[in-house]
Amino acid sequence: MTDHSLYLKNLWYLAFHSSFLKKGKLVGKEICGEKIVFGRDANGNAFALRDNCPHRGVPLSHGWFKNDTIQCCYHGWQFDTKGTCTGIPAMPPDATFDASKIKVFQYPLSEINDTVWVYIPEKKLPNVKPVLPPPNLVLNAEQKFKHVETVIMPADIDHSVIGLIDPAHVTFVHQSWYWRSAKKLKLKEKKFEPTAMGFKMVRHTPSANSKGYGILKGGTSTEITFDIPGVRTEHILVGQKNQVVSITCLTPLNDKQTELTHIFYTDIALANFLWLPLKRLGKQFIGQDLGVFNKLSEGLASKPTLSLIGDPDLQARWYYEIKRTWALAQQNNEPFVNPVKPQTLHWVT
């Protein structure tokens, strides 16, 4: 049974890259334990509905989608892309029943830089309005991400977030010639500040023992932000003109699986010539995380007692406190006040 206390509501979650949605095709997906059907109408506008026919509960994603009409595969009930029932084939012609009173819940949806985001509200009310705008993906509206990589992590959203923001695992999980080695550990000092929905590592010069940054010349600086429900953004500035935007989004599917999506952009011309090897390195990097999470899943099966210790784990503790504070604010219909305070952390990697 899904533990719904895992999920933060009244927030935006990444559904997938826009290329997944084709006109005339329905895509069913579970997010936060909720079954959702996505589609794209004849004008190219994306939509998201609860993936259940209100008649007998059959997933609408198993039905047909033609001329902007979704038809259930069980009794043929028809719905428009806003979830309003437009026809019940079994109803006799002289029936006076108004089918348009039957509604399928419509989720707010936003398409940004070729990525599709869905808003998961606490209450499924008609015409629900998001309490905050979709996430800022750093890029201008016309810019598109150059690479998208997705894997399923065998862990719930909490363990996935902790793995995403944990600085100490990098040395041991991502030992690579192009990144860093466990033999070259250094004491790091990083300044953190709160953001509207999380916290950020203040812009700084990248660590000297991270070879991946070494190829970026011309005065490189990076700022790393984490925002709930699970979006980590690294924004690298190279000189006065170029940038690298690396965003990792966590989408909880259920209490045992979390989808990790990495989206990447750069305007550095050299990257176009090195695109294939860069993609392979990116796959290897994510594959290393997936490998250790498979081991983590094996260990968590015995329900061990866990701990969070010192500065290396303080970001994880911040996450839990932000999560608790957000949930309480939504429950009491109060403004969210970020509990994180500016602080300097130290760890060795």
Tokens of 267: 């305007």
Please choose, from the candidates 192, 127, 115, 116, the residue with its C-alpha nearest in 3D space to the C-alpha of residue 347.
Answer: 192
Strand ranges inside the chain, DSSP E: 11-17, 27-31, 34-40, 46-50, 64-66, 69-71, 78-79, 85-87, 109-112, 115-120, 147-153, 187-194, 198-204, 220-227, 231-238, 242-252, 258-266, 343-348
pLDDT of 182 strictly over 70: no
Q: What is the pTM of this model?
A: 0.92
User: Which tens digit of pLDDT belongs to each residue from 248-262?
Assistant: 999 999 999 999 999
User: Which tens digit of pLDDT belongs to each residue from 208-234?
Assistant: 555 555 555 555 899 999 999 999 999
Domains defined along the chain, listed by start: 4-120 (2.102.10.10), 147-348 (3.90.380.10)
pLDDT category of residue 270 using cuts at 50, 70 and 90: confident
Q: What 3-state class would DSSP assign to 127?
A: coil
pLDDT at 216: 53
pLDDT of 304 strictly over 70: yes
On the question of a cis peptide bond just before residue 229, with omega within 30 degrees of 0, the verdict is yes
Tokens of 151: 């894997």
User: Which tens digit of pLDDT belongs to each residue from 38-84?
Assistant: 999 999 999 999 999 999 999 999 999 999 999 999 999 999 999 99
User: Which tens digit of pLDDT belongs to each residue from 24-50?
Assistant: 999 999 999 999 999 999 999 999 999
pLDDT category of residue 4 using cuts at 50, 70 and 90: low
CA distance 6 to 279: 32
Section 290-297 average pLDDT: 88
Cross-strand partners of 120: 11
Q: Of 184-188, 209-213, 230-234, 273-277, where does the model show the most confidence?
A: 230-234
CA distance 7 to 157: 8
CA dihedral 36, 42, 43, 47 (to 10 degrees): -10
Average predicted confidence (pLDDT) for the chain: 90
Section 144-154 average pLDDT: 88
pLDDT at 1: 45
